[in-house]
Amino acid sequence: MDIFDIALTMTPGLGVRGAVHLLEHFGTAVRIFSASQEELVAGAHLREDVARRIVRREALRQAEREADYCRRHAIKAVASTDPDYPQPMRLTPDYPHVIYVRGSVGALSCRTLSMVGTREITPTGQRMCQMLVEGLCSRLGDLSVVSGLAYGVDAACHRAALAYGAKTVAVVANALPDVTPAPHRRLAEDIVSSGGAIVSELHSQTRQNGSYFLARNRIVAALGAGLVVVESPASGGSLSTAAIADSYGRTVMALPGRATDTASRGTNNLIRNNKARLVMTADDIIEELGWQTDSLRSSRGAEAAALTAAEAMLLSCFADDDTLDLQRLADASSLSVGELSQLLMQLELKGVVRCLPGRRYEKL
């Protein structure tokens, strides 16, 4: 990583694809800034005004300020020419030449899976996020779940990865160290402290105008070996991410839903139109991506399914032939409905209780 790498991305009029074009022509940012105006214009077909800015090194002072900002905020700037830059993203046509990372850069180069979906997640979507990530974690020893830190499916996937021992990478549409949405700051800190990473292509001097979410989606798509759309309405950002992933040659997968479910219209359409492979389990995802499972990890996953103290306490509220609703469980356990819902979901995933019609539960 060189100061000229940051300066390249801060040169007005160049843009992401312009930087990619120059890097393909010259190889490194240092060579770009060492080129003459004639080489830039005649050789690389650059506009004269942009070539002059490069020759005059007009962005260098800004880049120096940015490097100092990164040092002060424990942010690592990684250039596409660095060995720890994620290589699958390096092969896309519009890769960001510099990414800014809080946490472990290595989390970007594990066995990565991108997972996205609607902000209006349903209880079924919540359960599927947990079930899929738990299943993947029980079979794979080096999984990293990539998503966008948004409300709904994104946050559910990040939290499931944290709960079941996978690394997770959040790609945000703002400059670090801040995150959007702001209420997910604690989640971001948990991601970093657990060996994951928060990633942005935006430097601290970027003018925020709310227009960077689609650009963020291409990074989510690029970082994963494949992309799973958990839930989506008929239109939305998840479907654009799926289209981008497909254009990058990634395997796009989607969970089916009932024809009447609004939150599944987008995923059902992807499957119907052959834009995504239908998946329902972690094994389906592993098969689609051609991943080899880790048998030792599978045995560890079985150990991880042991009940926590809170889960065991809740399970003790059931007699062998009882079916209990939330109110009776709340009375018996002294837990809030929110706490109950979370614990019951975990017990369902572990196969020790099941939900019956009318939101009644029975012990298995």
CATH label of the domain that carries residue 256: 3.40.50.450
Instruction: Give pLDDT, residue 320.
Output: 59
Give the structural domain span for 130. 105-300
DSSP 202-253: --TTPPP-S--HHHHHHHHHHHSSEEEE----SSSHHHHHHHHHHHTTPEEE
My answer on whether 29 and 119 are in the same domain is no
132 in a domain, yes or no? Answer: yes
6 in a domain, yes or no? Answer: yes
My answer on whether 50 and 199 are in the same domain is no
Split into its structural domains, the chain has a count of 3
My answer on whether 30 and 135 are in the same domain is no
My answer on whether 293 and 340 are in the same domain is no
CATH number at 26 reads 1.10.150
70 in a domain, yes or no? Answer: no
69 in a domain, yes or no? Answer: no
Instruction: Give pLDDT, residue 165.
Output: 92
Instruction: Give pLDDT, residue 304.
Output: 42
Instruction: Give pLDDT, residue 100.
Output: 98
> Residues 317-321: contacts with CB within 8 Å, 24+ apart?
318/353, 318/361, 318/362, 318/363, 319/363, 320/363
My answer on whether 56 and 122 are in the same domain is no
Mean pLDDT by 10 residues, the chain (364 residues): 96 96 96 97 96 97 98 98 95 97 96 97 95 94 95 96 95 96 96 97 86 92 98 95 97 96 97 97 96 60 61 78 80 82 81 75 78
Instruction: Give pLDDT, residue 56.
Output: 97
CATH number at 310 reads 1.10.10.10
Last residue of a domain, one of 270, 300, 330: 300
